[in-house]
């Protein structure tokens, strides 16, 4: 930890040195040039303290104008040019008064603001000198502004390129997934062709077996087509597939299958995500005890205002040969989250002897 702090302090000192060194060097070169020029032309007539005080005052004016007046006017106000002009005029007046007072204090003369022949040259010299450093400061501020603007544009362009790269990466992933999906279409089509062959082979021998094959092919085709994208399907289509699944189960179990399907409310204009209701019925048939006529499995579909309620109830088997990993219900819940976010409700009551699911979807 101590080593980390020393490293951080070292970096901060390097940055501080990198910022201040060019400024100090620049002022040293400028002051040396100006004093050398004055010495060659008219000769130096003031003390070192006198020049030091005046140059410190001008340097303070330089940075005050750039980092206070201009920064405030252009970054904190709605009318930067008007505020900048007014504040610079006020700055010139205040600086002039302070400079005249300082001149009088250093020379030992009486401080006065009289505009006469004796003071005109002093006033004009101070005003010109002040405007010179303010102009110099404005050029320095403009350069800093251009550098900031360039860095900000560079950062925005970098962010834009990163976002574009992420978008391209997502598009590439989507294309790869789509290609994999298209490659996998061989398997379902092979299944449909095989089912058609089986139907042609068995329907002459058994109408029951042939009907079961065709119902299964219809359900498989619906599952394949409806899962190709995230579109919604008409509730009528989902109910038709649900009834086909129940009919296949009746063909399989005969009189040993007892299911009651109750529907209530208008359903013509309702659209829902595909393969949601079928998943619940498939889970019920796979794991439920549907052979007791006194305790038949219940399916209830009803519309209440702007809500669709779907409820299933079934007795549980004493022993179940099918593994219970819950993947079907988990995947269904993930799909519901993708479609409805937090606007749906899924309640699962897993009792000792029965199993109940209540699904509520907004319309």
Residue 119, in any domain of the structure: yes
pLDDT < 70 positions in the chain = 1-19, 111, 113-119, 174-205, 224-230, 266, 319-326
Whether 74 is covered by a domain: the verdict is yes
Q: Compute the mean pLDDT over every residue in the chain, rounded to the nearest whole number.
A: 79
Q: Which domain holds residue 286?
A: 257-362
Note the pLDDT of residue 75.
87
Please give the tally of structural domains in the chain: 2
Write down the number of H helices and E strands in the chain: 10, 8
Pairing between β-strand 297-304 and β-strand 259-264 as defined by DSSP bridges: parallel
In-domain check, residue 189: no
pLDDT tens digits for range 64-90 = 998 899 989 888 888 888 988 999 899
Query: Do 61 and 163 lie in a common domain?
Result: yes
Please name the residues in contact with 100: beta carbons below 8 A apart, sequence gap of 6 or more: 111, 113, 122, 123, 126
Domain-embedded: residue 324: yes
Q: Are residues 160 and 262 in the same domain?
A: no
Question: Among 133, 148, 167, which residue terminates a domain?
Answer: 167
**Is 155 in the same domain as 261?**
no
Residue 166 C-beta-side C-alpha neighbours within 13 Å: 6
71 belongs to a structural domain: yes
Domain boundary among 167, 182, 217: 167
- Per residue in 145-170, is it b (16+ CB within 10 Å) or e — as a string? eeeeeeeeeeeeeeeeeeeeeeeeee
Of 110, 136, 167, which one is at a domain's C-terminal end?
A: 167
Confidence at residue 26, expressed as pLDDT on a 0 to 100 scale: 85
For 257, the 3-state DSSP assignment is: coil
Residues 156 and 261 in one domain: no
| Domain CATH code at residue 266 | 3.30.565.10
SS (H, E, C) 276-334: CHHHHHHHHHHHEECCCCCCCEEEEEEEECCEEEEEEEEEECCCCCCCCCCHHHHHHHH
Whether 325 is in a domain gets the answer yes
- SS3 for 223? helix
Chain position carrying tokens 């405030």: 72
Yes or no: say if 322 and 268 are a contact pair by the CB < 8 Å rule.
no
pTM, to two decimals: 0.47
Per the domain annotation, does 92 fall within a domain? yes
Is residue 55 domain-resident? yes
Q: Which residues contact 201 (CB under 8 A, 6 or more apart)?
A: none
């Amino acid at each position: 930890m101590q080593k980390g702090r020393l490293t951080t302090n070292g970096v901060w000192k390097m940055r501080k040195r990198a910022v201040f060194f060019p400024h100090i060097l620049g002022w040293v070169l400028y002051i040396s040039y100006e004093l050398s020029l004055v010495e060659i032309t008219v000769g130096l007539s003031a003390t070192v303290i006198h020049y030091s005080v005046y140059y410190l005052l001008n340097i303070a004016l330089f940075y005050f104008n750039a980092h206070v007046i201009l920064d405030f006017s252009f970054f904190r106000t709605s009318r930067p040019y008007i505020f900048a002009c007014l504040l610079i005029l006020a700055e010139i007046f205040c600086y002039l008064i302070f400079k005249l007072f300082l001149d009088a204090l250093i020379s030992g003369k009486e401080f006065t603001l009289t505009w006469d022949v004796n003071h005109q040259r002093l006033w004009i010299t101070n005003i010109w000198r002040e405007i010179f450093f303010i102009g110099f400061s404005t050029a320095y501020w403009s350069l800093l502004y251009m550098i900031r603007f360039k860095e900000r544009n560079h950062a925005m362009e970098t962010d834009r390129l990163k976002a574009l790269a992420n978008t391209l990466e997502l598009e590439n992933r989507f294309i790869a997934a789509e290609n994999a999906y298209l490659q996998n279409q061989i398997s379902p089509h092979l299944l449909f062709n095989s089912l058609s062959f089986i139907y042609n082979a068995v329907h002459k021998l058994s109408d029951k077996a042939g009907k079961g094959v065709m119902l299964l092919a219809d359900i498989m085709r619906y599952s394949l087509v409806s899962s190709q994208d995230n579109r919604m399907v008409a509730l009528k289509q989902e109910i038709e597939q649900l009834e086909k699944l129940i009919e296949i189960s009746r063909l399989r179990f005969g009189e040993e299958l007892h299911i009651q399907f109750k529907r209530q409310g208008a359903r013509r204009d309702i659209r829902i995500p595909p393969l949601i209701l079928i998943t619940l019925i498939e889970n019920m048939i796979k794991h439920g005890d549907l052979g007791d006529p006194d305790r038949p499995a219940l399916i209830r579909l009803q519309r209440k205002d702007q809500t669709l309620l779907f409820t299933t109830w079934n007795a549980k088997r004493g022993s179940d040969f099918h593994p219970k990993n819950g993947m079907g219900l988990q995947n269904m819940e993930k799909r519901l989250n993708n479609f409805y976010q937090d606007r749906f409700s899924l309640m699962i009551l897993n009792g000792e002897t029965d199993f109940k699911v209540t699904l509520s979807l907004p319309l």
